[in-house]
Amino acid sequence: MTLTATSLLSDRLLNMSESATLKMARMGRELRAQGHDIISLSLGEPDFDTPAHIKDAAKKALDEGYTKYTPVSGLLELRQAIQHKFKRDNDLDFGLDQIVVSNGAKQSIMNLCQAILNEGDEVIVLAPFWVSYSEIIKMAGGTPVILAAGIESDFKVSAQAIADAITSRTKAVLFSSPCNPTGSVYTYDDLAAIAEVIGKHDDILVFSDEIYEHINFTGKHVSIGSFDAVKDRTVTINGFSKGFAMTGWRLGYIGAPKWLAAACAKVQGQVTSGATAFGQKAAAYALEADMTPTHDMRAAFLKRRDMVRDLLGAIPGFKVNQPQGAFYIFPDISAFFGKRHGDTIIHGADEFCEYLLLDAHVAVVTGEAFGAPNCFRISYAASEEQLREAIRRIEAAVGKLV
Ligand code: PMP
Ligand code: GLU
């Protein structure tokens, strides 16, 4: 008998999609290696380097011998810094045994899903959602229940829609605010209404992904875990990738009910043993250090948000909202569906993005992967010059569609 992928790969794997964000980043790199002038606006990654003082803290930690395993949940020093940060910035009270540091917020979410989901358990996911949510839930045996909101409601799902979607199998509600991919921010009132709905159910958790906390243009970030109704059942997910430009360091964390933090540590203890020691030491330093570089990055993203919004909004057929955070914009381009250029017919967002890659040499990500088939995502974590050129090319390419 010959070994084949389908005979050996698990159903779980075969049922899972490749990360669309990472796939487009890979395709962009491959075309560039073939000599094409590709502008990649696909990956959600700050184009800034990690601030020098954080890098220095890691170098110092290496020299001091932080080269060994740490406690699975994270160095005490880092958990203390996170505890302080949660109190200072988010009005959240967590004990040290309620905090777990992981290899990126991505792993934090995986730990959570592995910890709570049995086959067929449901997680309500507010869409548009970050691509990995649905696949992580499925990998853990759960069923993602996608609740979608379109551009007309600023891509925000109502508390009533959540109330209507809750079943006896619902275990958690998962969403990000500021949101990847839309940049939308759930306001204090939006969160209060959601907290009220979920607070009525003692057996439903809130998984609140706040990794874009520091890239929030509304002035004040609000954590849903600070509402009394859901205080005891909210897991606040955060990390260093976005706010501190530390994507490659792979550092994320949660504050969770004690029993759930212990369960996540149990999962992690069998999978990665925890995050890098010297990285954790630098992360502890980062949380207490000068935040000026983070504020400067936010100011740069805000300036680009305005520019990108205005330029895209002026293209006939593009509908854009006003993103209030993160570094993404998520135009609705359904006006182009059914149009063509030569042999290329734009049936939906997948073909639209493929067309932009091949015709305009601009890599973006299809809305299909985010649960929003009318849209596509642009990451504006790129220089103003690149953004202007990319949008010029996009406008020229869509101008050819008839
Ligand atoms: N949540 C959201 C909403 C994201 O956009 C990302 C992207 N990196 C993550 C979690 C995971 O971040 P990381 O694993 O780099 O901490
Ligand atoms: N979160 C980023 C994105 O949405 C990084 C890539 C990924 O992990 O998905 O592009």
Of 206, 49, 203, 241, residue with least CA distance to 112:
206
Secondary structure letter of residue 64 according to DSSP: T
Instruction: Render each residue's pLDDT in the chain as its tens digit; 402 residues.
Output: 677 777 799 988 998 888 888 888 888 888 889 999 999 999 899 999 999 999 999 999 999 999 999 999 999 999 999 999 999 999 999 999 999 999 999 999 999 999 999 999 999 999 999 999 999 999 999 999 999 999 999 999 999 999 999 999 999 999 999 999 999 999 999 999 999 999 999 999 999 999 999 999 998 999 999 999 999 999 999 999 999 999 999 999 999 999 999 999 999 999 999 999 999 999 999 999 999 999 999 999 999 999 999 999 999 999 999 999 999 999 999 999 999 999 999 999 999 999 999 999 999 999 999 999 999 999 999 999 999 999 999 999 999 999
Number of neighbours of residue 35 by Cβ within 10 angstroms: 7
**Cβ(321)–Cβ(330) below 8 Å:** yes
The two structure tokens encoding residue 298: 């936010």
* 8 Å CB contact between 54 and 286: yes
Domain ranges of the chain: 5-49+293-398, 68-288
119 vs 140: CA distance, rounded Å: 8
**With contact defined as beta carbons under 8 Å apart, do 173 and 162 qualify?**
yes
* Ligand 1 atom 7 nearest Cα: 44
Nearest to 133 by CA among 283, 246, 21: 21
Q: Cβ of 31: how many Cβ atoms within 10 Å? A: 17
User: φ, ψ for residue 122 (rounded to 5)?
Assistant: -105, 140
Whether domain 5-49+293-398 has CATH 3.90.1150.10: the reply is yes
Counting ligand 1 atoms within 8 A of each CB, the residue from 242, 246, 327, 365 with the most, and so the one to mutate, is 242
What does pTM read for this prediction? 0.96
* H runs (alpha helix) in 91-177: 105-116, 132-139, 159-165
d(CA 375, CA 235): 29
Atom of ligand 1 nearest to the CA of 130: 3
- SS3 of residue 132 by DSSP: helix
Going by DSSP bridges, is the β-strand pair 170-176/122-127 parallel, antiparallel, or unpaired? parallel
Q: Which of 16, 18, 19, 21 to mutate to test the pocket of ligand 2 (most atoms within 8 A of CB)?
A: 21
Q: From CA 37, how far away is CA 26, in angstroms rounded?
A: 15
Helices (H), 2-73: 5-8, 11-14, 20-33, 52-63
Residues with CB under 6 A from ligand 2: 19, 21-22, 43-45, 106, 130-132, 180
What class is the 68-288 domain?
alpha beta
Q: Where are the beta strands (DSSP E) in 342-383?
A: 344-345, 362-363, 365-366, 376-379
**Separation of alpha carbons 333 and 315, rounded Å:** 10
pLDDT at 23: 84
